[in-house]
Structures are given as C-alpha cells and as structure tokens.
Amino acid sequence: MVVRTAVVTGAGSGVGRACALGLLADGWSVVLTGRRTARLEETVALAPPEERGRAVAVAADITDPVAVDDLFAAVGERFGRLDLLFNNAADTMPYTATEDVGVEDWHRVMDSIATGTFLCSRAAFRMMKRQSPRGGRIINNGAPSAQAPRPDSIAFTAAKHAVAGLTRSLSLDGRRYDISCGQIDIGNVTPHDRPQPEVRQADGSLRAEPTMDMRHVVDMVRAMAALPAGVNIQSVLVMPSSMPYVGRG
C-alpha cells in the first residue's frame, strides 16, 4: 500500500493537533510542525502506538523562509513526496480597537497567517510539481472572519481575507500541475481546558457563543484530504448552527 504524506502546521495544539491525529488514524504519514518541539512530541504521544511510527515532529518557524525550505527539504528526504499540506498555524491577538492596534501585533498576526501560508504553499508547490506522480492537495484553515469580520479584529480579519485570496490563487495556479487547494472556515470549537470566552458582538455587547465539538472539524478535514485527485472542496464553512455569523448578529 502506498502511504500518503502530509504536513500539518500548528500541530502542537488545537485544530492542528486534532487533525494530525485524525490523518494518522486514516493511514497517512504526518509531519507535524510548529515552533515548540515539546508540544509536537506531545501530539505524537497522543496517537496509538501503532500509528506513532508514521508521525514525525519537525520544529520550524513558518514565518522564516529558510526554516520553511529546510522543513520541506526534510520531508522530501524522509518520504520522497508530499501529498497534502494543511496550513493551520496562526497567531492571534486580543480584540483591540483599530486605532490602538500596534504595528508589531499587525505584523505578527499577518506573518503567522498570511506569510506562513504563502511560504509553506510555495514550498509545497515546488515539491508537488516535480514529484512523480505529480500533484497533491493544499487545505487552508480560514475562518468565518475570512468572509465577515468581528468588531475590533482588523489584523486577524485582514489575515484571513488574505488566506481566502491565497486559496483561490493556489487553486487556479495549481490546475495545470494537478494541485488542488481548498479552504475550511471553522466556527467556534468547544474549548477543552477552559470556559468558552465571551466575544464581542456586532452591537458591541459581549456574549459566550454556541460551540461545536472538535471532531466535526477533524471529520471535514479528513474528508477533504481523502478526495481523489481531480476532485476538490473549494470552500466549506463548519460552524454551530446557532453561532452568530450572517451579519454577525
């Protein structure tokens, strides 16, 4: 059986961790990457013993072009090909009025989300174009904010809008190389270690919103990853049905 190889960014916690474990359960070889080796190794340890041999933890800063190139070179040396990239890593910041957003925070959020997605996708394109058989799949983690913003979230909103543009460009540019690209926008996921925080609403109030179990996100990513070559889910939004989204109200 041919083992498919995936790279998951931000795999040390949250959505990245859960999806990396889901892909391992489906038989993928998974390169887990993030900035902290210890967190990545914690993710590997959560997999059943029979799956851990297909998991490789590689620490990398995805905002650093050299680190990204080294990461994908290591993937090529270890596995010889890349079939799936899940661009998931992201830094965030507290809700902040636009006039009070610091330039440092703006760059940190934009670099981790938009620049990181670009750098990893560029490296994946290079591998997927030249491997045999050529092609592969990229899945970008967007957000409802890629379509409709929350108040006081200009950096995160701009970054996720950039991801939506990257998804469309990657999908278009990948056609001639058999590279598919789709985006999953993820609504509120139930926190596993803390109460659901209150978030700013369109009317200025704060409210703890409905949430959903992480397994629904994992199931969708697994379904997108399992599609045959030449078939793509271009964009999908997974969210609690009663979560404020349309009009953010």
For position 243, which CATH number holds?
3.40.50.720
Q: Is the predicted pLDDT of residue 97 greater than 70, yes or no? A: yes
In the chain, DSSP assigns E strands to: 5-9, 29-34, 55-59, 84-87, 136-141, 179-186, 199-200, 206-207, 235-238
Angle between helices 154-174 and 103-110 (to 10 degrees): 30
What is the rounded average pLDDT for all residues in the chain?
95
Q: Is the predicted pLDDT of residue 76 greater than 80, yes or no? A: yes
Question: Which sign, positive or negative, has the C-alpha torsion 73, 75, 78, 79?
Answer: negative
In 19-68, DSSP assigns E strands to: 29-34, 55-59
Question: Considering the entire predicted model, what is its pTM?
Answer: 0.96
Q: Is the predicted pLDDT of residue 125 greater than 90, yes or no? A: yes
Angle between helices 14-25 and 214-225 (to 10 degrees): 50
Q: Is the predicted pLDDT of residue 248 greater than 70, yes or no? A: no
Each residue's pLDDT tens digit, 10-27: 999 999 999 999 999 999
Please state the rounded mean pLDDT for residues 66-88: 97
pLDDT of residue 245: 83
pLDDT of residue 66: 98
Full residue range of the structural domain in which residue 51 is found:
5-248
Q: Is the predicted pLDDT of residue 246 greater than 90, yes or no? A: no
Q: How confident is the model at residue 249 (pLDDT cuts 50, 70, 90)?
A: low
Share of the chain above pLDDT 70, in %: 98
Q: Is the predicted pLDDT of residue 1 greater than 80, yes or no? A: no
Q: How many domains does the chain have?
A: 1
What one-character DSSP code corresponds to residue 61? -
Please state the rounded mean pLDDT for residues 77-90: 97
